[in-house]
Amino acid sequence: MVFPEGHRDPKVISIAEYCRKKGAELRERSRRDNPPGEKQKLVELAAMLGTGEALDRKALHRFGSAEDGWMRLALETQCGRMIPLLVREGSNVGKAYFLLAGVIGKEELVGTQIFQEAMASGAGVALIDLWGSGETEVFDDTCASVYHNLSRSCLWLGRTLIGEWVRDFAAVSAILTEEFGADKVSLGGYKEAGLAALFQSVLSGNNHSAVLEDSPRSLVFRNQTPRSTPRVSFYSMALHIPGFLNWGDVSHAVALAGEVRFINPRWSDGEPFEDDSPQ
């Protein structure tokens, strides 16, 4: 748009080329430099995500009797947020629970490995619709990326969509402890929701283990998939966290967390993750 077609000044690189180059530099720097103290990194992470204050409980609504063992509930918070959830109590002795979330909604979890493992464990299982998904869906089909407008509105307000999802995980974890007597809550997330589970594990002081499926192992930019049709990208705009690579990438969050496991880890473009992959 600036230069005649085919005559761009070679000194001017594209946005994609710049992001790949800068991402590789930041990744190398994070490997080389000594990170700040753990407490400072947690403060920085919370500020970067824009998690703000915790979601305080106003009421827990229950809808009808359990169907196939699943109870239908909704957590209403003091700020007016409604978090739909399904809860199935465990069959094993003890009060362990898995709290799982996907990107599009609860139904997306059915075919995932994290769901199958949770159901086979005999522990209790809770499925939630994160803010803007499932029963609270606010997708805009006119946009080429899921959560384009919702993520952008969060950024305008100094927040991030994943930061809001971290708040959801924290609020429902508290409900499982208070209402269902959970003494251990393991967090699981599919795709971008896996990062929210990881960040909540970190910010909770390692009170929760985390399992991430098809989630990015690094947010370093590598490729850009042409988006000729809506929702063709592997990840949505929920993935965007301004300043994250300056903070230290996903590997730093893993180092600060307790027990973390990745299932089919990926790069930020959705390609399978290999630590020695070209930048």
Q: What's the distance, CA 255 to chain centroid?
A: 17
Instruction: Give backbone dihedrals phi and psi of 246, rounded to 5 degrees, phi first.
Output: -70, -30
Domain ranges of the chain: 38-52+83-263
pLDDT-based confidence at residue 278 (cuts at 50, 70, 90): very low
pLDDT at 225: 55
pLDDT at 144: 54
What are the pLDDT digits (tens) for 108-127? Answer: 999 999 999 999 999 999 99
pLDDT at 128: 97
Give pTM, 2 decimals.
0.88
Strands 260-263, 210-213: pairing kind: parallel
The fold of the 38-52+83-263 domain, in CATH, is: Rossmann fold (3.40.50)
Expressed in angstroms, the distance from the first to the final Cα of the chain is 28
CA proximity to 57, closest of 84, 76, 30, 32? 76
- Position with higher pLDDT, 45 vs 30: 45
pLDDT at 202: 94
pLDDT-based confidence at residue 50 (cuts at 50, 70, 90): very high
Q: For 31-51, what is the mean pLDDT?
A: 82
Instruction: Judge whether residue 220 has pLDDT over 80.
Output: yes
pLDDT at 20: 80
Instruction: Judge whether residue 162 has pLDDT over 80.
Output: yes
- Position with higher pLDDT, 27 vs 96: 96
What are the pLDDT digits (tens) for 165-198? Answer: 999 999 999 999 999 999 999 999 999 999 999 9
- The set of residues, in sequence order, having a beta carbon less than 8 Å from that of 157 and lying 6+ positions away, is 50
pLDDT at 231: 47
How many percent of the chain have pLDDT more than 90?
59
Rounded to the nearest integer, the mean pLDDT of the chain is 87
What's the token pair of residue 93?
A: 């002795």
What are residue 72's DSSP bridge partners? 63, 86
CA proximity to 270, closest of 201, 221, 229? 221
Say if CB 174 and CB 57 are below 8 A apart: yes
pLDDT at 29: 77
